Amino acid sequence: MNAGNLLSGFASRLKPRLADLGSRPRSALPQSEFNALALELFALQFQHVSPYRRFCEARGIALGSIDDWRKVPAIPTSAFKELELTSLAAEERTAVFHSSGTTTDRPSRHFHSAESLTVYEASLLGWFRQHVLGDWDRLIEDERVGPLDKPGFILLTPPSKAVPHSSLVHMFETTRRELASSDSVFTGLVAADGAWQLDLDATLFAIRKSMCANRPVTLLGTAFSFVHLLDHCAANNIRYRLAEGSRVLETGGYKGRSREMPKAELHALITRHLGIPTERIVCEYGMSELGSQAYLRNACSADGVPVFNTQALHFPPWAKVLLVDPETGAEASEGRPGIIRILDLANVYSVAAIQTGDLGVMNGDGFELLGRAATAEPRGCSLMPA
Amino acid sequence: MSEPLPNFFLADLPPGDSLTPAIVTEACRTLKRNRERYLVERNTASLVRMISSVASNWLDPEYPFRKQALAEGPAATGFSSKTLAQGLDTYFNSITTDRLTNLLEQELGHVDRMDQPSENTIDREFDRAAIATGPELLAHITGGVLPNPAFTGIILGLLARSAQFVKCASGTSFLPRLFAHSIYACEPKIAACLEIAEWRGGSTLLEDALFAESDLVSAMGSDDTIAALQKRVRGKFLGFGHRVSFAYLTRETISGFSLPKLLRRAAQDVAAWDQLGCLSPHVFYVETGGKVTPEQFAEKLAQELQALEPEQPRGRISTNDSAAIATRRSFYEVRASASAETRMWTSPGSTAWTVIFEADPTFAPSCLHRFIYVKSAPNLTTVLRAADRVHRRVSTVGLSAPEDRAAGMVKELARWGVTRVCAVGDMQNPPITWRHDGRPALGDLVTWTDWENGG
C-alpha cells in the first residue's frame, strides 16, 4: 500500500475515537492504547515523512527500535521552517498553516489536505466544546437561552478568507461553522503591512447587540486583540456587563504588536470592562505545528461545576506532554521545569512528536506554561543581566 | 567557609538594607573628602607599587581574598571555581609595575604626569611642560558578569587620583567587592576613596544622586542603557556599549605543526569566563584551502572543549539559559540531518559546550556559555561582508595569520571598524594598556594643564 493509504487507514480509525473521547468529559485513553497508536504512527511517519526519517537516522534510530512513546524522536517546531515535514504529496496539499512571527523570519509551514483537516477538526471540536461551552446545556436548562439556541461568537481576528494560512483562524472558523449561531462575526482586519487589527466599531456594535438581546456571547481572540479592545474601553471609560453566561477564549500571541500584559492583569481588565468573571475566561495553548489544543480549565466544566484550578493546561487524551530537562535532555524530574514536548496523535500526516520552544512545569494531570525559551537572538553581552 | 567580609562598602550591607539617595550622596561626599586627604597628593610610583602588590597577592593560592573568591564564587557568580581561578590568574598576571608604568607613558607621554608638570622629548621641543588631573569623583556603572572591567576601572581611577563610586549590575558585585577589600587590607586610606554598591539598573533616584556628585561617569551596558544614561548625565560621560568578537584563522596557520596549540588556545578563548564577555568569540572563521578543512577544525575544537571541561568546567546555568542552548541545538540538529553543510558536536548529557560547523560564513551570534560556531572562510573580505549585521559592533578579532599576511589583514580589519586584533587564545586577556573600543585608556579620564615657559 502507498503512504496515503496507510496513513488514511490510521486516520479513519483514529477519527471516531477522537470524536468519542472528545465528547465525553473526563475521558481517558488507556496508556497501552495511546502507546500502541503512537508507535504505529511513528512507524508510518518514519517511512513516509522523509526529512523526519533522516532526522531519526542521524540520531541512530531505526524503525522498530522504539518501544515507548516517550522515546519517539521529537522534532523541534523550528524544523517546520526549514523542512517540508509532511507525508502529503504536493498535489494533495490543500492548505498550509504558518506560524505567527516576524515578517523577516521564515514561517513554519504545516501542510494539510482535505482529509488531514477532517482529523484536525475531529480533534478540535469535542475538546473545544468541553472547555469553552461546557455549561451550555445548563444555560438551556436554566432557560437562560432557548433549547435550540446556538452560542453567538464574536471573533476578534480577521476572517479565514483574509488569512488563509492562520491555523488559529482556521480553528476559530471551524468552531464558528460547527458550533456557533449564524449571526456570529469576525471583527478583525488585516492592515496594509499584514498586521492584524481590530475593527473596534464592529466589535463594540456586536457586543452591544448581544447586550440588547440579553444573549450570552463568546468573545474569542488573541491576548493582543483583547489588550487592544480593553485599552479602548479604558480610554473611553466603557464598562459593559455582558449577559450572564458570556465568556472569553483567549490565546497567546502578542506577536510583538502590543504591550505585553500579565495574564492576571488581562483577566482582571476583561472582568472590569466586559463584566465577564474569571471563571468564564478560558486560555488556549496551541500552535500551527499541532493538531490539538490545550486549555486552561477556568470555565465551568462539562457537568456544570465551576473548576477554579487555574494554572494547569490540559491537552486531550490523544495528545500527551513530556517535559525535558534542558540541561540533560532527559525527562524532567517531578516538579522541575522542562521544555515542553507533545506527542499529538492528531498530527497524522506530518510528525506527531513535537518539541516546542516553551518551558513548562507539571501540575497535577496538566501542565503550566512558564514562558518561551529564549530563542531571541543573543546580542553579545546583552545576554547578561543589566 | 571564609569569614564574612566586614561592612565597609555599601555592597557589604545585607540585601535587606535598602539604599536611599541621601546615603549615596553622603557616600560620594565622604569619598571626595577622603580623596582630598589621602589620594590627591599620593605619588604615582607608590600607587603603582601598591596596585601591583595587590595584584601579585591575588596570584598567591593562600591569599584569603582569592580563597574566598574561589570558594564562594561559583554560587555568587555562576562561574566554576577553576574557570574563576583561570580568569583571575590571567588578569592579575597582567598587572605589574612595568605594565602600569608603560600604561602611564603610553597614555600621558610621561610617567610623572599625574604628579607634577613634566616634559617629554616633544614637550621640550615646544619648551613646555604639562600636568594631567583626574576627575574628583569618577562613577562607574558596570554591566555584565565579568569582573575585569570593574577591576580595570578601579585601577585606572586610582592612577587618575579620583574618588570612585562603582555601581555594579544586580548580582555582580561579589568580585569587585573582594577586590576593594583586598585594597583595604593593603591600604585602608586608599580604599576609603572607593565605594562599591549594587542596585538594579534604572533605579533613577539613586543614579541621579550619584550623577549629581560625579565629575565623570563611565558606563557599560547595552546600547539602549548607554543611550538612556547619557541623557541623564550632565557632566562628562564615557559610554561603552555591548560588542561582539570573532576569530579568523588562516589556511597557513591551521596547516602548520602548531595546530594542536592553536586548537588549545581557541578552546581557551571559548572557555574563558564561559564566553560571557564582549571579547569572547561568537564565531571562529577558518579559511578553506588549508591542510585541515574548517569542518575538521570544528571537530578537533570539539575534542579540545571536551578535554578542557574537567579542567575548567562550565559554570552552572539557569534553566532559561539551558533551554536557550537546548532549543538552539535542536534547530541545528534538524539542519545537520538535512544538509552536509552543517554539523554539530555537543557535550554528552549536558549543555557544557557546543560546536556548530556551518559552511555558510554569515555571522551568527552565539547563545554563549561555551556555544561556538565554526564557519568556512574563503577570505577575509568575504567574511567581513558576511558579518555586516555586526559592522561597527565588533570589538576583538582573534587572528592567526602568517607574518606576511598579518599586517594587511589588520589594516583591512581596522578600516572595517575593528578596534582590537590579538592572538587566538588571548581574546579575553587584553593588556592594561588596551584602548577599550579604540579609545584612550587613561587619557579619556584626565584633563590637561599645559605650562608654556617659552616666549
Partners of A375 on chain B (C-beta within 8 Å) are: 324, 327-328
Q: Flag whether residue A73 sits within 8 Å of chain B, measured between CB atoms.
A: no
The yes-or-no verdict on residue B451 having pLDDT over 60 is yes
Q: Flag whether residue B367 sits within 8 Å of chain A, measured between CB atoms.
A: yes
Report whether A242 contacts A255 (CB < 8 A).
no
Report whether B400 contacts B423 (CB < 8 A).
yes
Instruction: Give percent of chain B with pLDDT exceeding 90.
Output: 94
CATH of the domain at B84: 3.40.605.10
What is the least distance, in Å, from the CA of B352 to any CA of chain A? Answer: 9
C-alpha grid cell, residue B72: 564562594
In A, minimum Cα distance to B366 occurs at A378
Q: Burial of B433 by CB count in 10 Å (0-12 exposed, 13-18 middle, 19+ buried)?
A: middle
> Hey, how many other C-beta atoms are within 10 angstroms of the C-beta on A148?
6
Evaluate whether residue B145 is within a structural domain.
yes
- Is B102 found in the same domain as B49? yes
Question: What pLDDT is stored for residue A256 in this prediction?
Answer: 41
Q: Which of residues 330-349 of B touch A (CB under 8 A)?
A: 330-331, 333-338, 349
Partners of B349 on chain A (C-beta within 8 Å) are: 328-329
* pLDDT band, very low/low/confident/very high, at A23 (cuts 50, 70, 90): confident
C-alpha grid cell, residue B391: 559592522
Instruction: Answer yes or no: do A380 and B278 touch at CB < 8 A.
Output: yes
Last residue of a domain, one of B242, B259, B290: B242
Please write down the long-range contacts of A330-339, taking CB distance under 8 Å and 24 or more positions apart. Answer: A331/A70, A332/A361, A332/A362, A334/A362, A335/A361, A335/A362, A336/A361, A337/A361, A337/A370, A337/B319, A339/A373, A339/B323, A339/B326, A339/B327
Question: What pLDDT is stored for residue A4 in this prediction?
Answer: 64
Residues 6+ apart with CB under 8 A from B384: B391, B412, B413, B416
The yes-or-no verdict on residue A310 having pLDDT over 90 is no
Instruction: Answer yes or no: do B331 and A76 touch at CB < 8 A.
Output: yes
Helix or strand holding residue B155 (H, E)? helix B148-159
Q: CA A321 to CA A252: how far, in whole Å?
A: 18
Q: CA B420 to CA A377: how far, in whole Å?
A: 24
Instruction: Answer yes or no: do A357 and B277 touch at CB < 8 A.
Output: no
The yes-or-no verdict on residue A305 having pLDDT over 80 is no
Cα-based torsion angle of the residue sequence A118, A123, A129, A132 in order, rounded to the nearest 10 degrees? -120
- Is B207 found in the same domain as B99? yes
Evaluate whether residue B452 is within a structural domain.
no
Question: What pLDDT is stored for residue A264 in this prediction?
Answer: 84
Q: Flag whether residue B447 sits within 8 Å of chain A, measured between CB atoms.
A: no
- Is B252 found in the same domain as B166? no
Q: Flag whether residue A306 sits within 8 Å of chain B, measured between CB atoms.
A: no
Alpha helices in chain A (DSSP H): 3-23, 31-48, 50-58, 79-82, 114-132, 136-141, 167-179, 200-212, 223-235, 263-274
* pLDDT band, very low/low/confident/very high, at A386 (cuts 50, 70, 90): very low
Question: What pLDDT is stored for residue A298 in this prediction?
Answer: 55
- Is B366 found in the same domain as B319? yes
Among partner residues A51, A326, A380, which is closest to B338 by beta-carbon distance?
Answer: A51
The yes-or-no verdict on residue B144 having pLDDT over 90 is no
The partner residues of B450 in beta bridges, in order of sequence, read B130
The number of C-beta contacts closer than 8 angstroms across A and B is 121
Instruction: Answer yes or no: do A328 and B278 touch at CB < 8 A.
Output: no
Instruction: Answer yes or no: do B324 and A374 touch at CB < 8 A.
Output: yes
What is the least distance, in Å, from the CA of A350 to any CA of chain B? Answer: 15
Evaluate whether residue B433 is within a structural domain.
no
Instruction: Answer yes or no: do B334 and A382 touch at CB < 8 A.
Output: no
The yes-or-no verdict on residue A257 having pLDDT over 80 is no
The yes-or-no verdict on residue B6 having pLDDT over 90 is no
CATH of the domain at B386: 3.40.309.10
Partners of A374 on chain B (C-beta within 8 Å) are: 320-321, 323-324, 327, 367
What is the least distance, in Å, from the CA of B195 to any CA of chain A? Answer: 19
* pLDDT band, very low/low/confident/very high, at A2 (cuts 50, 70, 90): low
Domain span at residue B104 reads: 10-242
Among partner residues A326, A355, A386, which is closest to B169 by beta-carbon distance?
Answer: A386
* pLDDT band, very low/low/confident/very high, at A296 (cuts 50, 70, 90): confident
Report whether B157 contacts B166 (CB < 8 A).
no
C-alpha grid cell, residue A346: 492528531
- Is B210 found in the same domain as B359? no
Q: Flag whether residue A383 sits within 8 Å of chain B, measured between CB atoms.
A: yes
Mean pLDDT of A275-303: 83
Q: Burial of B397 by CB count in 10 Å (0-12 exposed, 13-18 middle, 19+ buried)?
A: buried
What is the least distance, in Å, from the CA of A322 to any CA of chain B? Answer: 15
Q: Which of residues 386-425 of B touch A (CB under 8 A)?
A: 393
* pLDDT band, very low/low/confident/very high, at A254 (cuts 50, 70, 90): very low
- Is B189 found in the same domain as B172? yes
Domain count, chain B: 2
> Hey, how many other C-beta atoms are within 10 angstroms of the C-beta on B261?
12
Partners of A54 on chain B (C-beta within 8 Å) are: 337-338
Question: What pLDDT is stored for residue B7 in this prediction?
Answer: 86
In B, minimum Cα distance to A329 occurs at B349
Three-class SS of residue A229? helix
What is the least distance, in Å, from the CA of A354 to any CA of chain B? Answer: 11
Question: What pLDDT is stored for residue A309 in this prediction?
Answer: 53
- Is B222 found in the same domain as B184? yes
Q: If you average pLDDT over every residue of chain A, what do you get?
A: 88
**A59 φ, ψ to 5°?**
-90, 0
pLDDT digits (tens, 9 = 90+) for A178-206: 999 999 999 999 999 888 999 999 999 99
Q: CA B193 to CA B12: how far, in whole Å?
A: 16
Angle, CA of B136, B140 and B144, to the nearest 5°: 170
- Is B266 found in the same domain as B236? no
Q: CA B251 to CA B287: how far, in whole Å?
A: 5
Evaluate whether residue B5 is within a structural domain.
no
Instruction: Answer yes or no: do B338 and A386 touch at CB < 8 A.
Output: no
The residue among B42, B410, B344 whose CA lies nearest residue B190 is: B42
* pLDDT band, very low/low/confident/very high, at A382 (cuts 50, 70, 90): very low
Residues 6+ apart with CB under 8 A from B36: none
- Is B258 found in the same domain as B147? no
Instruction: Give percent of chain A with pLDDT exceeding 90.
Output: 71
Question: What pLDDT is stored for residue A27 in this prediction?
Answer: 82
What is the least distance, in Å, from the CA of A375 to any CA of chain B? Answer: 6
Q: CA A200 to CA A220: how far, in whole Å?
A: 14
The yes-or-no verdict on residue A307 having pLDDT over 80 is no
- Is B249 found in the same domain as B202? no
Q: CA A356 to CA A76: how far, in whole Å?
A: 6
Report whether B338 contacts A386 (CB < 8 A).
no
Evaluate whether residue B64 is within a structural domain.
yes
Q: Flag whether residue B327 sits within 8 Å of chain A, measured between CB atoms.
A: yes
Report whether B369 contacts B386 (CB < 8 A).
no
Partners of A359 on chain B (C-beta within 8 Å) are: 319-320, 323
Q: Flag whether residue B366 sits within 8 Å of chain A, measured between CB atoms.
A: yes
- Is B43 found in the same domain as B139? yes
Q: CA B332 to CA A124: how far, in whole Å?
A: 32
In B, minimum Cα distance to A357 occurs at B327
Q: Flag whether residue B448 sits within 8 Å of chain A, measured between CB atoms.
A: no
What is the least distance, in Å, from the CA of A61 to any CA of chain B? Answer: 12
pTM listed for this prediction? 0.92
C-alpha grid cell, residue A231: 485599552
Q: Flag whether residue B272 sits within 8 Å of chain A, measured between CB atoms.
A: no
Three-class SS of residue B321? helix
Question: What pLDDT is stored for residue A301 in this prediction?
Answer: 52
pLDDT digits (tens, 9 = 90+) for B119-137: 999 999 999 999 999 999 9
Instruction: Answer yes or no: do A378 and B324 touch at CB < 8 A.
Output: yes
Mean pLDDT of B237-246: 95
Instruction: Answer yes or no: do B365 and A76 touch at CB < 8 A.
Output: no
Mean pLDDT of B56-68: 98
Q: If you average pLDDT over every residue of chain B, what do you get?
A: 96
Evaluate whether residue B453 is within a structural domain.
no
Instruction: Answer yes or no: do B324 and A83 touch at CB < 8 A.
Output: no
- Is B409 found in the same domain as B274? yes
pLDDT digits (tens, 9 = 90+) for B280-324: 999 999 999 999 999 999 999 999 999 999 999 999 999 999 999
* pLDDT band, very low/low/confident/very high, at A261 (cuts 50, 70, 90): confident
Evaluate whether residue B4 is within a structural domain.
no
Evaluate whether residue B29 is within a structural domain.
yes
Do the interacting molecules here have an ipTM over 0.95? Answer: no
* pLDDT band, very low/low/confident/very high, at A259 (cuts 50, 70, 90): low
Q: Cell 539542519 maps to which residue?
A: B335
Whole-number Cα distances in Å, B454 to B109, B113, B132: 20, 20, 20
Instruction: Answer yes or no: do B143 and A337 touch at CB < 8 A.
Output: no
The yes-or-no verdict on residue A135 having pLDDT over 90 is no
pLDDT digits (tens, 9 = 90+) for B159-183: 999 999 999 998 999 999 999 999 9
Q: What interhelical angle do B44-58 and B97-108 show, nearest 10?
A: 140
Q: Flag whether residue A104 sits within 8 Å of chain B, measured between CB atoms.
A: no
Which of B200, B337, B353, B394 to mutate against chain A (most A CBs within 10 Å)?
Answer: B337
Q: Flag whether residue A375 sits within 8 Å of chain B, measured between CB atoms.
A: yes
Q: What interhelical angle do B174-186 and B64-77 show, nearest 10?
A: 170
Instruction: Answer yes or no: do A79 and B221 touch at CB < 8 A.
Output: no
Range A257-287 burial, b when 16+ CB lie within 10 A, else e: beeebebeebbebbeebbebbbebbbbbbbb
Q: Cell 584633563 maps to which residue?
A: B447
Instruction: Answer yes or no: do B349 and A79 touch at CB < 8 A.
Output: no
Question: What pLDDT is stored for residue B16 in this prediction?
Answer: 62
Question: What pLDDT is stored for residue A297 in this prediction?
Answer: 67
Q: Flag whether residue A90 sits within 8 Å of chain B, measured between CB atoms.
A: no
Question: Is B144 or A290 the better-scoring residue by pLDDT?
Answer: A290
Report whether A96 contacts A112 (CB < 8 A).
yes
The yes-or-no verdict on residue A71 having pLDDT over 70 is yes
Instruction: Answer yes or no: do B242 and A359 touch at CB < 8 A.
Output: no
Among partner residues A51, A337, A378, which is closest to B367 by beta-carbon distance?
Answer: A378
Question: What pLDDT is stored for residue A303 in this prediction?
Answer: 54
Among partner residues A58, A326, A329, which is closest to B319 by beta-carbon distance?
Answer: A326
What is the least distance, in Å, from the CA of A74 to any CA of chain B? Answer: 9
Instruction: Answer yes or no: do B331 and A78 touch at CB < 8 A.
Output: yes
Among partner residues A58, A324, A325, which is closest to B336 by beta-carbon distance?
Answer: A58
